[in-house]
Structure 1
Amino acid sequence: MRYVVIGGGVGCARFVKGLREHVRRTGQGDRIDVVVNTADDWWVSGLRIAPDHDSLLYALAGVNDTERGWGRADETERVAAELHMWGTAPDWFTLGDLDLGTHIARTSWLREGLTVSEVYRRLGARWPLDVTLHPATDAEIDTHVLLADRDPIHFQEWWVRHRAQLPATGFVQRDIDRATPSEGALDAITRADVILIAPSNPVVSVGPVLAVPGMREALRAAVAPIVGVSGIISGAVVRGMADACLAAIGVDTSAEAVARHYGARRGAGLLDGWLVDESDASALDPLQAAGITARAVPLWMRDADTSAQLASDAIALARSLG
């Protein structure tokens, strides 16, 4: 079996780790590919930073900071302090010294002419991930936030510096009209047996992947069933500030509303199936009526066992859909 996951960031990393644990326990040698959001990437101090990719890379490698939820474990920040003193990096965006090693390597390879896909392969080869990461696109499509009372700002400034508190009216990916899906992403989707939309931020982690020209069409044309996992439980986000992003595009913070936002594949959307938490079981009948087969299961990923069980539940729903 070949599983393909769409997403990025911490929620996606936890889900993919659970999927990998499920594959290891079943012992079937199944393949896992992840199509990773690249739209929250940006330039800092002349370095290309890729937060969603690196959250996945470090978590799968087992070197992530589990307390903070991002960056490397046992990190120091001496270089970041120097960059702040020199005025080449904002003081609200801190990069660890080990993390900077990744960014320096990435930027060096990009400047040599490697594609983002090739950089992903080089970074992923350092550790035995048992997962293949693909960028959604090799193009730069940084997300900018449209604000009600000022000029647009980069997503990272809105997210990290302002904690998503500035009233936003929308999100745009610069130059996305000239982007195309990466070859690895398209091949994985075409060959997939099951496609899973991770419990990532639906607006700024999954949304930009779907917005790459040709990506949505490739997913809708895929033979594999597409099952999504809600990142909303009992009307609240599991992590982060996805509620602020949803509000900006006029979507309620609920498992049902996010599923409707993705839409049913039998209509003009993407989903064949959708997992909600047991506390949101009231959404099952309305979603079924909307053309999305939904199941209520425990969604909290507290450890390896619960994460692997969630992945198993998602696969079971996909298989029931044929």
Structure 2
Amino acid sequence: MTESPRIVVLAGGVGGSKFTLGVREALVRRGAPEATVVVNTGDDLWLSGVRLQPDIDSIVYALAGVNDVVRGWGRAGDTERVNHELQAWGAGWPWFTLGDLDLGTHLARTGWLRDGLTPTQVLERMSRRWPLGAHLLPMTDAEVDTIVHVRDGAAMHFQEWWTRHRATLEPTAFENPGIAAAQPAPGVVEAIAAADVVLLAPSNPVVSIGPILAVPGIREALATTSATVVGVSPIIGGRVVRGMADVCLTAIGVETSAAAVAGHYGARRDGGLLDAWLLAEEDAALAPAVEGRGIRSVVCPLWMTDAAATAAIVEHALAAADA
């Protein structure tokens, strides 16, 4: 692999936004081209008449340096006057906060969608405001929101299950209605085919990376690309770093361990996705189990404490690709 590799990242959520910052930092140091980041849109939704794209906005805000790093979502220094007014009218969800600056993003997006732009074109327009240092693509232009089925037979939008109920309602299945008829957004398959390395961010494997892989054509593109596919474990020391990914993994029968998630993705030689897998130092004892699945293991620090630490993780991933 050259010093200027072509990188594609599959990402979603707060973990994906942090990882993308590290990818940008590592590639700037190498003088390499900007990475293409394929972003999960499975947790998108319509609320109060506007289209929300939480994962896209998290990554855009992080790359622009305007994200709220304390809350982990939304804009830094945001206010909530409009949100309070919506709630006074009984509109929206009282447990789902829309910041005023954040709402400006949603209004702009919705207006462009109403004008006939596709989500890909909207994201391209959004990317012009700030120097992001990465090329962002939605996984698809289709609306394939995530529906969660829970133990009592009820079904609800992922955001209600995640934000209102904090994943306390036991899930039995995750569904993306319409995804079987969806197509990859323009440029996604082409970027994967032309890449030197594809990185799976340490995002939730079920509801962040899972919907991307479920778009027809993307998994096939990963299977046939000449790029090396390297994943980064979202599990450190047998625990999720953030969020409730353990609940999601349990629902699909996957243990909350770095080795089990690697097995969930599978080895490329056996029809899976991975050539290599980054394990945290706390999980070094699991390396033989990963190797036994036909996936090259790399043990390194995986705490994304800042962009420099995350860039070091990306360098380990690129070194694994070189190997």
- What's the TM-score, normalizing by structure 1? 0.98
Report deviation, 1:19. Answer: 1.1
**Alpha-carbon distance between aligned partners in 2 of 1:72 and 1:89, rounded to the nearest angstrom:** 19
Amino acid at match of 1:8: G
2:42 pairs with 1:25: no
Correspondence for 1:133: 136
Report deviation, 1:308. Answer: 1.1
- For 1:267, which of 259, 267, 270 is the aligned residue? 270
Which digits, 9 at most, give the CA deviation of each residue in 1:40-96, with x for residues without a partner?
A: 000000100000100000000000001001000000000011111112201000000
**Alpha-carbon distance between aligned partners in 2 of 1:120 and 1:155, rounded to the nearest angstrom:** 22
Tell me the SS of whatever aligns to 1:183.
coil
Correspondence for 1:145: 148
Q: In the TM superposition, what are the counterparts of 1:103-182 in structure 2 within 5 Å?
A: 103-182=106-185
**Alpha-carbon distance between aligned partners in 2 of 1:74 and 1:184, rounded to the nearest angstrom:** 34
**Alpha-carbon distance between aligned partners in 1 of 2:90 and 2:141, rounded to the nearest angstrom:** 30
Report deviation, 1:305. Answer: 2.0
Which digits, 9 at most, give the CA deviation of each residue in 1:17-49, with x for residues without a partner?
A: 0111111222x2322010000000000001000
2:299 pairs with 1:296: yes
Name the count of aligned residue pairs. Answer: 319
Report deviation, 1:191. Answer: 1.0
Correspondence for 1:284: 287
- For 1:305, which of 289, 305, 308 is the aligned residue? 308
Report deviation, 1:161. Answer: 0.2
Amino acid at match of 1:268: G
Which digits, 9 at most, give the CA deviation of each residue in 1:93-148, with x for residues without a partner?
A: 00000000000000001111111100010011100001011010000000000111
Tell me the SS of whatever aligns to 2:97.
coil
2:11 pairs with 1:7: yes
2:200 pairs with 1:232: no
Tell me the SS of whatever aligns to 1:204.
coil
**Alpha-carbon distance between aligned partners in 2 of 1:124 and 1:304, rounded to the nearest angstrom:** 20
Report deviation, 1:317. Answer: 0.5
Correspondence for 2:252: 249
Contact 2:189/2:217 (8 A) holds in 1: no
In structure 2, list runs of 5 or more residues that go unmatched: none
**Alpha-carbon distance between aligned partners in 1 of 2:236 and 2:16, rounded to the nearest angstrom:** 16
Correspondence for 2:69: 66
Correspondence for 1:88: 91
2:26 pairs with 1:16: no
Which digits, 9 at most, give the CA deviation of each residue in 1:136-182, with x for residues without a partner?
A: 00000000001110321000000000000001001000111110111
- What's the TM-score, normalizing by structure 2? 0.97
Amino acid at match of 1:147: V
Contact 1:117/1:184 (8 A) holds in 2: no
**Alpha-carbon distance between aligned partners in 1 of 2:19 and 2:149, rounded to the nearest angstrom:** 30
Tell me the SS of whatever aligns to 2:208.
helix
Correspondence for 1:205: 208
Tell me the SS of whatever aligns to 2:261.
helix
Amino acid at match of 1:108: G
Q: Superposition RMSD on alpha carbons, in Å?
A: 0.8
Correspondence for 1:223: 226
Tell me the SS of whatever aligns to 1:247.
helix
- Which portions of structure 1, spanning 4 or more consecutive aligned residues, are displaced by more than 2 angstroms? none
Amino acid at match of 1:138: D
Report deviation, 1:304. Answer: 2.5
In structure 1, list runs of 5 or more residues that go unmatched: none
**Alpha-carbon distance between aligned partners in 1 of 2:320 and 2:242, rounded to the nearest angstrom:** 24
